Chains A and B, each alone.
Chain A
Amino acid sequence: MKLRDTPIQRKLMSVILLTCGIVLSLMCFAYVVLEYVSFRNTAKNNISTLGAVIATNSSAALAFDSQIDAQEVLNALNAEPDIAIAALYDKEKKLFVTYPADTSSQIFPEVRESRYYWFQGGFLEGFEPVLQKNEIQGYLYVKSDLKTMYRQLGYYILVGVALIMMSLLVAFLLSRILQRTISRPILDLKNTAKAISEKHDYSVRATKAGQDEIGELTEAFNSMLSQIQKQNLEIRSFNQTLEQRVKERTIELQNQKDFIETIINSSVDLVIVLDKDLNYLMVNSRIEEYYGKSRREMIGKNIVEVFPHIKENGIMDLLGKALSGEYVYQENYKAPDINKYFETYFIPLKDIHDSVYGVLMVGHDITGIVESREKLEKVNAELLKSNRDLEQFAYVASHDLQEPLRKIQTFTQLMGENLQNETQLKKYHEKIKQSSSRMKQLIQDMLNFSRISNSDDAFVPTDLNEVLENLIIDFELLLREKEAKINHPNLPVIDGIPLQLSQLFSNIINNSIKYTERKPVIDITCARLSPHDMREFPKLNKEMTYYRIDFSDNGIGFEPEYSEQIFNIFQRLHGKQSYSGTGIGLALCKKIVENHHGVIFATGKPGEGATFTIILPGSQS
């Protein structure tokens, strides 16, 4: 941790200890250096004094060439254990005696004539001239070992270090106690400040410890707190006012928004707002009713993401136009997924700079109108057809009904002219009877036909087997007479009007028995219409089940070109002379099948029989 970041207590102690340590170290260092220097000087003084004494004492020995005496003098150095070696040189600088006596003469240096001492490699050595009344008698050389001195110095250093340690310890203990007078008020102030910043309680005041700078700081801090507290109160009251106003304004805005939203959602039209990238900005609640989609989920999504199919039906072009600033109106749009019709307005939304930032789509549901129009068109078409049928009917009726009437008129006239001829009368009477009977038949058939046209009988599940069986019973006499045979499989139960279905089957079978020259054989087959076969008949609803029933006969057949005509009313392919019939039967069949929402057609060739095929739905719903 840097000294800058340490707590103030430790900082104070560090400063004190550091100062003490440095000062003490410097002192000890100076003391040791001084000691060292003074030691050296003392050593030099000691050795030179000793040298001077020895030199003085040895002057006579040198002057009078007494080696024994000189040796004795030198041996006195025994008392000084630091003296390693010593020697006396004579006047001619020749080695005279050495100390210790047996020291090799090799290790003694050359004589220096003047008094001189020097330190070298842990030794102090020097020369002292031996004088007697200023007359040089020779030279003394001494060499002192400084080991003792250095040991002493080392001891001093050790003592110094120990003193420093002890002083530092004392300084540490003292500073621990004394720093509190400085750090305690600062720490108190800090703790107060910290507590305030954590609890935001600006009513707390720091306690003042004294009149020093920290006391002044505490005072300044407290006065700052007072100001903060005051300002806080002001800010809070200001905030409250502001909050209140914001709340009121928010409520106001919310009310306005709710009002607008209520209006938009109350609209019967679809209201959609898209941004420039065709993402939903706003949708009114109609969308939920129409599409069952959640408004919330739509907002922000792209229109293509929500309705992928609009890429193909031209809506994108219209949106593009609107985004380029054009007011677009689409008269009729069929929403494919919900089978609804809309007239739609694409209104560009412009900002104050007149640039488009979105599109407002308003879709007005016109399904009712479209449907009623379609119904109207359908009814109209039916009416037109019915009209045509009626015209045809009137024309044919007038023509066909006139024929027996004319016959009756003719034979009545003939009867008037031949009143006496009983034979003739009988013949004419017979003819009139025949014609009137035929007329009755015609009128009956026409009534049947017209009744079916206006039929609104209810559909019920009808067992076709039952219908066929009952017919065979009804036709029993005729069948026996003509020696006719009917082969039929098991037939389904379908939704139908039993009486009409019975009439349908009856007319077809009757037709087959009527138009034949041989013993009639009728083969009935029945199968469920496969989806593949269904494709041949575009009129059929592909989602419903159909049964195909074929009636094949061995009759006279017909030319294939008449396969359509034979179902028209009063259309007869063959002369009345050859075959009886009113020309209404097959038209009636066609009417019944169409009434059951099915298909009827005939195939055949002259002389090879005919096949009547009817296709009927299994159910009517």
Chain B
Amino acid sequence: MLTAFLLCSFLKLDAQTGYASEYQVKAVFLYNFTQFVDWPPRAFEGSYDPIVIGIVGKNPFGPYIEAAVSGERIGSRILRVEYFASARDITNCHILFVGTEDPDEIRRILRVAEQKNILTVGDNPNFVRWGGIIRFYTEENKIRLHINNTAAKAAGLRISSKLLRVAQVS
């Protein structure tokens, strides 16, 4: 909750300047995904295991992602951010933002993620085509979502229909 307030104050601050940075919004969206996506029970070892948001490759969020999740809880689970350098480094996580620009590396990461119940998120225009689940894109100055529900199902994830409704689904 505290972080939510902090985040709010950030956003308000930005609102006052008339501009919230793209990655600021995306950080909030990442956090918001945790509320619209259900993971299968096997994704967690215990009921108190945290929800881990992993960032692989470059971190474009700066401090915003930490700000967005710190102190937040989804049910009995806290949120944690972990950073991975490459596909090989990826360990157990639930949401994985792919900050890598190299397409091969992206595919590699996605192949690793497919094995696990990970909600993969990326900016690359081909991200969904390559097997990623959610892609951010910009339309009329707004950040929109492109969701590959088939991939999500394949990953054992259940995406809320409400989320699907606000997104472009393929």
CB within 8 Å of B: which residues of A?
Answer: 56-57, 59-61, 63-66, 69, 91-92, 132-133, 135
How many Å lie between the Cα of A294 and that of B44 in the bound state?
151
Pairwise interchain contact B75-A133, C-beta atoms closer than 8 A: yes
CB contact list, B1-57 vs A, under 8 A? 4, 8, 11-12, 15, 25, 29, 32, 34-36
Query: What is the total of A-B residue contacts with beta carbons within 8 Å?
Result: 47
Check B162 for interface membership: any CB of A closer than 8 A: yes
| Interface core residue of B25, B143, B165 (most chain A CB under 10 Å) | B165
Residues on the B chain within 8 Å of A66, using CB:
166
| Interface core residue of B32, B34, B74, B142 (most chain A CB under 10 Å) | B32
How many Å lie between the Cα of A61 and that of B15 in the bound state?
19
Neighbour of B15 across the interface among A63, A65, A92, A133, CB < 8 A: A92
Query: A64's closest neighbor in chain B, by CB?
Result: B166
19 further A-B pairs in the complex, CB-CB below 8 A; given A64-B167, A135-B72: A60-B36, A60-B166, A61-B165, A63-B32, A63-B36, A63-B163, A64-B29, A64-B32, A64-B166, A65-B142, A66-B166, A69-B166, A92-B8, A92-B11, A92-B15, A133-B34, A133-B35, A133-B75, A135-B4
Check B155 for interface membership: any CB of A closer than 8 A: no
How many Å lie between the Cα of A581 and that of B151 in the bound state?
216
Residues on the B chain within 8 Å of A61, using CB:
162, 165-166
Could you tell me the distance in whole angstroms from the C-beta of A120 to the nearest C-beta in chain B? 30
Residues on the B chain within 8 Å of A92, using CB:
8, 11-12, 15
Neighbour of A60 across the interface among B4, B15, B162, CB < 8 A: B162
Query: A61's closest neighbor in chain B, by CB?
Result: B166
Query: B29's closest neighbor in chain A, by CB?
Result: A64
Can you report 6 residue pairs joining A to B where beta carbons are below 8 Å apart?
Answer: A60-B163, A61-B162, A63-B32, A69-B165, A132-B35, A135-B72
Q: Residues 108-143 of chain B: 1 if any A CB is under 8 Å from the residue's CB, otherwise 0?
A: 000000000000000000000000000000000011
Neighbour of A65 across the interface among B8, B12, B143, CB < 8 A: B143
How many Å lie between the Cα of A65 and that of B75 in the bound state?
23
Pairwise interchain contact B8-A57, C-beta atoms closer than 8 A: no
How many Å lie between the Cα of A92 and that of B14 in the bound state?
12
Pairwise interchain contact A132-B166, C-beta atoms closer than 8 A: no
How many Å lie between the Cα of A135 and that of B163 in the bound state?
15
Query: B163's closest neighbor in chain A, by CB?
Result: A60
Residues on the A chain within 8 Å of B150, using CB:
none
How many Å lie between the Cα of A56 and that of B167 in the bound state?
17
Check B160 for interface membership: any CB of A closer than 8 A: yes
Q: Residues 153-168 of chain B: 1 if any A CB is under 8 Å from the residue's CB, otherwise 0?
A: 0000000101101110
How many Å lie between the Cα of A92 and that of B11 in the bound state?
9
Check B145 for interface membership: any CB of A closer than 8 A: yes
Could you tell me the distance in whole angstroms from the C-beta of A413 to the nearest C-beta in chain B? 216
How many Å lie between the Cα of A57 and that of B161 in the bound state?
10
Q: Please judge, given known A-B contacts A60-B166, A64-B145, A64-B163, whether A133 and B25 are in contact too, CB under 8 Å.
A: no
CB contact list, B79-130 vs A, under 8 A? none
Residues on the A chain within 8 Å of B11, using CB:
92
How many Å lie between the Cα of A135 and that of B5 in the bound state?
12
Residues on the B chain within 8 Å of A135, using CB:
4, 35, 72, 74
The 9 closest A-B pairs by CB, nearest first: A60-B162, A66-B166, A132-B35, A133-B35, A63-B32, A69-B166, A60-B166, A64-B166, A60-B163
How many Å lie between the Cα of A91 and that of B34 in the bound state?
17
Neighbour of B162 across the interface among A59, A65, A91, CB < 8 A: A59
How many Å lie between the Cα of A60 and that of B142 in the bound state?
15
Query: B34's closest neighbor in chain A, by CB?
Result: A133
Residues on the A chain within 8 Å of B25, using CB:
65
How many Å lie between the Cα of A133 and that of B163 in the bound state?
13
How many Å lie between the Cα of A61 and that of B72 in the bound state?
21
Q: Please judge, given known A-B contacts A69-B166, A91-B8, A92-B12, whether A63 and B35 are in contact too, CB under 8 Å.
A: yes
Residues on the B chain within 8 Å of A65, using CB:
25, 142-143
